[in-house]
Amino acid sequence: MIREELVFVATCDISGHVRGKGFPARELPGRLKKGIGWTGSNLMMSPAGPIWDTPFGTAGDLMIVPDPGAEVRVDFGDGSAVEHFFLGDICTTDGKPWECCPRDFLHRAVVALEELGGPRIVAAFEQEFVYTGTDDRPGDAYALGAFRRQGNFGETFIAALRAAGVAPDSFLAEYGSRQFEVTVAPQPALTAADHAVITREMARATAFRLGHRAVFSPKTDPDGVGSGVHIHLSLWDGGGRPATYHAGEMMDLSKPAQHFCAGILHHMPAICAVTAPSPVSYLRLVPNRWAPTVIDIVRQDRGACLRVCPVFAAAGPMEVARQFNIEFRACDGAASPYLALGAIIFAGADGIRRSLPLPGPAAAPQSLPSTLGAALDHLSESEAALRWFGPTHLDAYLRFKRVEAEKGAGLSPAELCAHYAEIY
Ligand code: GLU
Ligand code: MG
């Protein structure tokens, strides 16, 4: 059959979905400048599709302009259509970033930290998901048997990541039923978020070609463990030197790292509405599931909100400093990596700006919000979040998520899990 290659240009929006439009690949040179047509209300497409509420109506024109540095072209070699897409920025028709562009939100967070004279942030995403192309057997947690029985999925997925320009770090069978985890190499913030989006799409693209699904919903079984997105963060100075570690300081964290983490903890009730952004996210944040329930920072504890990670087999002090990182554990696959990492960086930058101290060891940690509605209340009351988002973007985000919270409140945990497993 005759075929002509297509290209897709996309954003990863409030719903965390990758949405955009396609065109013939031969039109690419022109499209690199003018992008594809978009509109404000496209941002308001709910996770399941319908627009519930929108401040933008049917008016207005925007475009998603592809970033040549965020191109993916992967030929799976099985005769299926080539996966060719670009991630891009939502711009106004004169080419300026639109005030509600999720990718620009992260870009602005990076700039805000830079303008403070703060460190650069390098991030690595560790993402968990359920692969439907394997069976569930007792004893499967981290098992070689489970690793083997996923068949060709793992190897094809890793090859696809590599072909997409994303360096895989590890792939494993996780603790949960049919659950797997992939970690990719650290990158500067914007590239790290692009790579997080690409990683999810490569998992889905691989599973699709094998007739199955990679499900990134935060929880697929009310009684099981959830799937988290853990974001490893490290600070680097302007000369490219590691700046997270300072031996002998509190938890061996440098002063800027302490303030950065204190900022995240301070704003956690509000940013939770962005990093754990769906009703089903809050079924994951429960005790004894390796997921956080309180707003804390703990050294080497996988139940913490911020985990100060260990350093492995470091040959010398420089290697210790290079490896040292903090893991943000209150994020999941319903979040747009741009919004989640942007909110974390804005919060950390605020901690640096105000020289916020870390809580002392005796301080009793506050609980994380226990519902999306409660997290949204904190977000709507946060003057800092209003500055980070700007009024139009924050209003759009809150309207979107308020309806999602209301709809979710009408569903039982089992119904929520089933519904979101179909969506993500
Ligand atoms: N599945 C757990 C979560 O929901 C994390 C398990 C782990 O520590 O890797 O975040
Ligand atoms: Mg894990």
Q: Which atom of ligand 1 is least distant from the CA of 225?
A: 1
Burial 278-308 (b: 16+ CB within 10 A, else e): bbbbbbbbeeebebbbbbbbbeeeebbbbbb
Q: What is the pLDDT of residue 314?
A: 81
Interatomic CA distance for residues 120 and 123, integer angstroms: 10
For the chain, list residues with pLDDT below 70: none
Residue nearest to atom 2 of ligand 1 (CA): 290
Q: What is the pLDDT of residue 299?
A: 93
**Ligand 1: residues within 6 Å at CB?**
128, 225-228, 284, 290-291, 302, 329
Which of 174, 231, 300 to mutate to test ligand 1, by most ligand atoms within 8 A of the CB atom?
174
Which of 126, 142, 172, 230 to mutate to test ligand 1, by most ligand atoms within 8 A of the CB atom?
230
CA of 302 to the centre of ligand 2 (A): 9
Q: Which ligand is nearest to the CA of 332?
A: 1
pLDDT tens-digit profile of 274-290? 999 999 999 999 999 99
Q: Which atom of ligand 1 is least distant from the CA of 229?
A: 10
Q: What is the pLDDT of residue 362?
A: 85
Q: What is the pLDDT of residue 361?
A: 82
pLDDT tens-digit profile of 352-396? 999 999 998 888 999 999 999 999 999 999 999 999 999 999 999
Of all helices (H) and strands (E), which one includes residue 72? strand 62-74
How many degrees, rounded to 5, is the angle at CA 284 between CA 263 and CA 352?
A: 5
User: Residue 92: beta bridge partners?
Assistant: 62
Token match 């996966």: residue? Answer: 83
Q: Which atom of ligand 1 is least distant from the CA of 329?
A: 10
Among residues 356, 338, 335, which one has the least CA distance to residue 347? 356
Token representation of residue 10: 């996309």
CA of 180 to the centre of ligand 2 (A): 8
Q: In the chain, what are the domains?
A: 6-99 (3.10.20.70), 106-423 (3.30.590.10)
